Structure 1
Amino acid sequence: MIEDWKHFLLPYQQAVDELKVKLRGMRKQFQDQSAHSPIEFVTGRVKPVESIQEKMVRRHVQEDRLEQDMQDIAGLRIMCQFVEDIYQVVDLLRERTDITIIEERDYITNVKPSGYRSYHIVIEYPVQLVTGEKRILAEIQVRTLAMNFWATVEHSLNYKYQGEFPEAMATRLKTAAEAAFKLDEEMSEIREDIQEAQQLFSHGRGAEWTKSAIESQEDQNDQVERGNE
């Protein structure tokens, strides 16, 4: 039995905190070069104990296999403006030497039956503890803002219906998912114009407002992530 969950989860919280700083730092590097950043904002959370225990029962995960078999105890989410940005972020993550990619799941090309779209990457990340290095698994989800809006709504409804959606609800959710992706496709069509306009805005009076808005959004989404489990 895990008797001290706070002690068990400490390395995961450290990993989330460090990765948020590093991923947000990538965005700042693009901004420093006056280039379009494929990263809009980054959030992260450690899965609450109740959610871990529920998933252990649902997925038949044994306690002595928890660290190996549950890949999303530490979770990061990278939000992008465009679908093309998602794949650029994935390429950037593949090039990093401070993480090891264990698995990739492309639910954008291979859409789930529910309509869910996102790009999932399971990584191994080394955390430096006073007792030495500990390598833990973490999951990074990369998605557009439209994909995230749909997934957040679906998650809330899933909680209400305990995974058993009425047929009419499931159909409407899938239709909404297709509409959200259609929006992403339309935005991609005018991506160059959008990016040019954003560059002009970010160098004008909107620069400080944009920075403040993104940081505020990240703080709010960190709170939402903790509450959505």
Structure 2
Amino acid sequence: MVRRAIPEPEAFRELTTFMMVYKFGLAEIRTKIDILAEELAHRGSGNPIEHVNPRLKTPASITAKAQRIGCPLTFDDLRGRIRDIAGIRIVCSFVSDVYTVAEMLTRQPDVNLVVTKDYIAKPKANGYRSLHLIVEIPVFLSDQVVAVPVEVQLRTVAMDFWASLEHKIYYKHDATEISAALRAELAAAAEDAARLDQRMEGLHREIHGPRRPSPAYPRE
């Protein structure tokens, strides 16, 4: 039987400290999102946030990504090159809500927007749509303030539905072995989901009037 090596106490302590900072950063972002959702619901204007899913990469997942991108396994290199150790997915009702929530979050003075990748305006080749942000949030420790990067993914219910099932279709399967016809079908399904988003938002607008106008959000 192969036994897994037990980390040395000092190395284990350093790893715990490294991961703890990202856990705190994720908690800070989650609190901000919960406050926004509750405030909007209290206003009676409708909560644009359907649900929120935070996640923290495991050490094994971090190691795998580091090896994939050729990143040395040092804390400084991991901190500088892997920006999605902490991540949170915000699923919104409509496309306009995605940009509204993103604008509400990133205009807060202690949220520093670092990178924007707008896969709604410019979907990936496979049809994937989502708004990805890398933000930095200050975490106040006992002896220092650490700017922690957090990846924020914002998408609609339809986009989330497609992405979730697309992941299950590919799960534990080499993507290069998927036929061109099946890839085309998945991309067509993503187009169907996008049309559904437009149709449902149009119906909502007819009944309730226009949503809050989408801000001039920075896009790639």
Q: Within the alignment, does 1:21 sit opposite 2:15 as a pair? A: no
Q: Within the alignment, does 1:65 sit opposite 2:77 as a pair? A: yes
Q: Within the alignment, does 1:102 sit opposite 2:114 as a pair? A: yes
Question: Contact 1:20–1:43 (CA<8 Å) still a contact in 2?
Answer: no
Deviation at 1:89?
A: 1.3
Correspondence for 1:166: 179
Correspondence for 1:118: 130
**Within-5 A mapping of 1:1-229:** 3-4=11-12, 5-63=15-73, 64-164=76-176, 165-192=178-205
State the Cα deviation string for residues 106-140 of structure 1 (Å, max 9, x = none): 10011100100000010111111223211111100
Question: Contact 2:139–2:146 (CA<8 Å) still a contact in 1?
Answer: yes
Query: Partner letter of residue 127 of structure 1?
Result: V
Q: Percent identity?
A: 34
Does the C-alpha gap of structure 1 residues 22 and 172 become closer, same or farther in structure 2, counting only changes over 3 Å?
same
SS in 2 for 1:190: helix
For residues 207 and 60 of structure 2, the distance between their equivalents in structure 1, rounded to whole angstroms, comes to: 42
Q: Name structure 1 gaps, 5 residues minimum.
A: 197-229
Instruction: Say what the alpha-carbon RMSD is for the aligned residues.
Output: 1.9
Deviation at 1:22?
A: 1.5
Deviation at 1:48?
A: 1.5
SS in 1 for 2:110: coil
Deviation at 1:195?
A: 5.2
TM-score (norm 1): 0.79
Question: Contact 1:68–1:137 (CA<8 Å) still a contact in 2?
Answer: no
Correspondence for 2:214: none
Question: Contact 1:36–1:195 (CA<8 Å) still a contact in 2?
Answer: no
Deviation at 1:71?
A: 1.1
Does the C-alpha gap of structure 1 residues 163 and 3 become closer, same or farther in structure 2, counting only changes over 3 Å?
farther
Deviation at 1:166?
A: 2.8
Question: Contact 2:131–2:155 (CA<8 Å) still a contact in 1?
Answer: yes
TM-score (norm 2): 0.82
Does the C-alpha gap of structure 1 residues 193 and 27 become closer, same or farther in structure 2, counting only changes over 3 Å?
farther
For residues 50 and 122 of structure 2, the distance between their equivalents in structure 1, rounded to whole angstroms, comes to: 23
Deviation at 1:24?
A: 1.3
Q: Which 4+ stretches in 1 moved above 4 angstroms?
A: 193-196
Q: Name structure 2 gaps, 5 residues minimum.
A: 1-6, 210-220
Does the C-alpha gap of structure 1 residues 194 and 12 become closer, same or farther in structure 2, counting only changes over 3 Å?
farther
Deviation at 1:194?
A: 6.0
